[in-house]
Chains A and B, each alone.
Chain A
Amino acid sequence: MEKFSILNSQAVPLPAENVDTDQIIPARFLKATTREGFGKNLFCDWRYASDGTPKPDFVLNDTRYSGQILLAGKNFGCGSSREHAAWAIYDAGFRAVISSYFADIFKGNALNNGLLPLQVSEEVLQALINQVQAQPDTKISINLSEQQLHVGAIGLTVSFEIDAYKKECLLHGYDDIDFLVNQKEAIVNYEKNRQWVY
């Protein structure tokens, strides 16, 4: 997993609420057996017409917007557990998604792939969306160790929450698998002492 510490980037606004994982990456693209290459199909059915031409009104096709931050509406990532959703967003070049609410599984998947799901209040999210829509070249800075989000253009600084362990993982590029494999002794002991074994 890649490390994440400081990100200073423009953002792409996608204010729709309840964006589900079938929109992020439709099921027909889940047939790959590797993790790479999902980015080109990110939001496929919103992004392309059925003949494959880009739909001009979709934000990813709007040349005014670019950057490594996706500004997303409430309850982002609901629906299926497919980690392909996080892979697709990451593969398309995003390193953080800012929303006022994330679906649980998506949030976990993002964190396991070095994609920061950054939760802010609805007011802050709205302010960010308004600003970026009005001025697409607005820079948003995210400082993970300080747990701060800063937008110079509107003088906004807010702090955000993140699980302490997950923060360490992101900062150092570790993932849970390293941690868990090192717990083997405790796990084996647990198995021996289980009150009920299936």
Chain B
Amino acid sequence: MAKTLFDKIWDAHVVRSIPGGQDVFYIDRHLIHEVTSPQAFDELERRKLPLFRKQQVVATADHNVPTRNQHLPIQDPLSRSQVDKLTENCHKYGVELFGLGHENQGIVHVIGPELGLTQPGMTIVCGDSHTSTHGAFGAIAFGIGTSQVAQVMASQCLLQSRPKRMRINLDGDLRKGVSAKDVILYIIAQLGTGGATGYFVEYAGKAIRSLSMEGRMTVCNMSIEMGARGGLIAPDEVTLAYLKGKKYAPKGEEWQKAVAYWSTLHTDASAAFDVEYTFKAENISPMITYGTNPAMGMALNEVIPASTMEVDSQGMLKSLSYMGFAPGESLLGHEISYVFIGSCTNSRIEDLRVVAEYVKGKQKASHVEAIIVPGSKLVEQQAREEGLDAILAAAGFELREPGCSACLAMNDDKIPAGAYCVSTSNRNFEGRQGPGARTLLASPLVAAITAVEGKIVNIMDYVN
């Protein structure tokens, strides 16, 4: 029978189905971090359960870590205790930990792929919604809550009902200056924050195929922002080229076997989806968000919708008043004081290269604070090897050490109340980057140009 890529992987991981429609679903790889794991380890403790398959669990510290002076003890006592707790639990249960100071440390969704821990056909979970990132390799990857973290620790399985299937096709070619981030912001703006709730999304089409692995990760990363359980992209030569030689990727004969299996991982021609959308890549422009959810996005040269002025069912006016914007307003020329380049959406080497290439020989505007936070130690090291650190420093950007940083205001990196921040992260919720902070989501290129100009501009005037 013709099957979707999603169903092929799902079916291969069903241990058994139970009456009522749920499956005992096997998990190949379990990634953990300091915020959502302590209560799960406690649960094992409380029930006197062993960690069932410790070699399938990998840990890192990312959310709480400072991005300056990582060699010093963490200042904030609560953050420190959470990171210490992770270390303690990993030692006790024999889990491999890429903690602070380790050469493989970084944001959990950056290190999984770059170490080759993320592979096609796998099922991957983490107590973090952006686990959807790993779907870029043709894996079923999704975020789970802490109770489920404990379940996977205890049984390497979850009880899951199969989501519905959605395919989003992106035909044609992306225009110059338009990146993967713009693609996903555009799709989310089209479908809305709940537009894919209950679905697992496969991204397909020429424009998706033309993306690098980094770009594909950016797209899959933000699937959750339209409610999707996850997103995935069929593996191809781009995937194989990225994975080959990675630390934990199969080697030699194992690699050959893996490639043979991975080549079966695609949606069959006549397989059916519950819903399917098709967009044209040419219609996508560089995007920016103006509101307090990621679906409130528009092309840089558009104006904030005015049509919702009478009916405020979406809380549009509340959101705009938080942001200090008005319906019908254009954001062009709007002054910005912070630029944050980082997060599991856009902190990979390719993102840093895009920024460095643009700012080379230029200067950030004097009123802008521009920080750039690599997703991992490996990204940081690569950036230094390529000399990007010097270019960024010369342009007035501060290159930090890896972590989640200003994506979620849980560590020292926060945006002050009322300040505008153009951010390459994934969420512009109220207070996400600090109480009262105003976040505008955009691509690394838009962020870089904004930092130099000190205000929002139509970047299409700059890229040609």
Contact = CB atoms under 8 A, between A and B. Distances in A.
Interface string A163-198: 111000000000111011101101100110011101
Contact of B314 (A17, A86, A183): A17
Interface in B49-95: 49, 63-64, 76, 78-79, 81-82, 85
Contacts of A190: 15-16, 26
A70 B158 CA distance: 28
Interface stretch (B201-209, B303-311, B359-367, B429-437): B429-437
A23 B319 CA distance: 13
B19 A164 contact: yes
Nearest to B42: A34
Contacts of B408: 22, 27
B20 A23 contact: no
Interface stretch (A5-13, A89-97, A104-112, A144-152): A104-112
A20 B12 CA distance: 33
B148 to A, nearest CB: 7
B36 A81 contact: yes
Contacts of B403: none
A35 B24 CA distance: 26
Interface string A99-117: 0010111001100110000
B197 A109 contact: no
B159 A179 contact: yes
B367 to A, nearest CB: 24
Interface stretch (A58-66, A72-80, A128-136): A72-80
Contacts of B250: 198
B147 A105 contact: no
B216 to A, nearest CB: 20
A25 B184 CA distance: 26
Contacts of B42: 33-35
Interface stretch (B138-146, B274-282, B327-335, B350-358): B138-146
Nearest to A101: B194
A26 B431 contact: yes
Nearest to B318: A16
Interface string A117-139: 00000000000000000000000
B39 to A, nearest CB: 5
A158 interface: no
Given A20-B429, A45-B435, A80-B129, A33 B21 contact: no
B298 interface: no
Interface in A10-55: 16-18, 20, 22-23, 26-28, 30-35, 45, 50
B143 A81 contact: yes
B457 interface: no
B161 interface: yes
Contact of A81 (B81, B129, B261, B436): B129
A113 B147 contact: yes
A20 B156 CA distance: 29
Nearest to A108: B145
A23 B430 contact: yes
Nearest to A164: B20
A186 B157 CA distance: 11
A45 B22 contact: no
User: Size band of the A side of the interface?
Assistant: 35 or more
Interface stretch (B120-128, B379-387, B441-449): B120-128
Contact of A23 (B18, B24, B63, B429): B429
Contacts of A198: 28-29, 119, 122, 250
A165 to B, nearest CB: 4
A187 B24 contact: yes
Contacts of B261: 195-196
B299 interface: no
A177 B122 CA distance: 22
Given A18-B315, A23-B429, A183 B24 contact: yes
B100 to A, nearest CB: 16
A153 to B, nearest CB: 25
B337 interface: no
Nearest to B313: A17
Given A31-B79, A196-B121, A198-B29, A180 B24 contact: yes
Interface in B26-50: 26, 28-29, 35-36, 38-39, 42-43, 47, 49
A34 to B, nearest CB: 7
Given A109-B147, A175-B147, A186 B16 contact: yes
A113 to B, nearest CB: 7
A195 B257 CA distance: 11
Contacts of B267: none
Contacts of B258: 196
Given A34-B39, A104-B229, A177-B151, A187 B157 contact: yes
B75 to A, nearest CB: 13
8 contacts: A16-B315, A18-B194, A31-B81, A35-B39, A75-B197, A83-B127, A108-B144, A183-B157
Interface of A: 16-18, 20, 22-23, 26-28, 30-35, 45, 50, 74-75, 78-84, 86, 101, 103-105, 108-109, 112-113, 163-165, 175-177, 179-181, 183-184, 186-187, 190-191, 194-196, 198
Interface of B: 12, 15-16, 18-22, 24, 26, 28-29, 35-36, 38-39, 42-43, 47, 49, 63-64, 76, 78-79, 81-82, 85, 119, 121-122, 127-129, 131, 143-148, 150-151, 154-159, 161, 163, 193-194, 197-198, 227, 229, 250, 258, 261, 293, 313-315, 318, 408-410, 417, 427, 429-432, 435-436
Interchain residue pairs A-B with the least CB separation, the first 9 = A83-B145, A109-B145, A31-B78, A112-B147, A33-B38, A164-B20, A81-B143, A180-B155, A83-B146
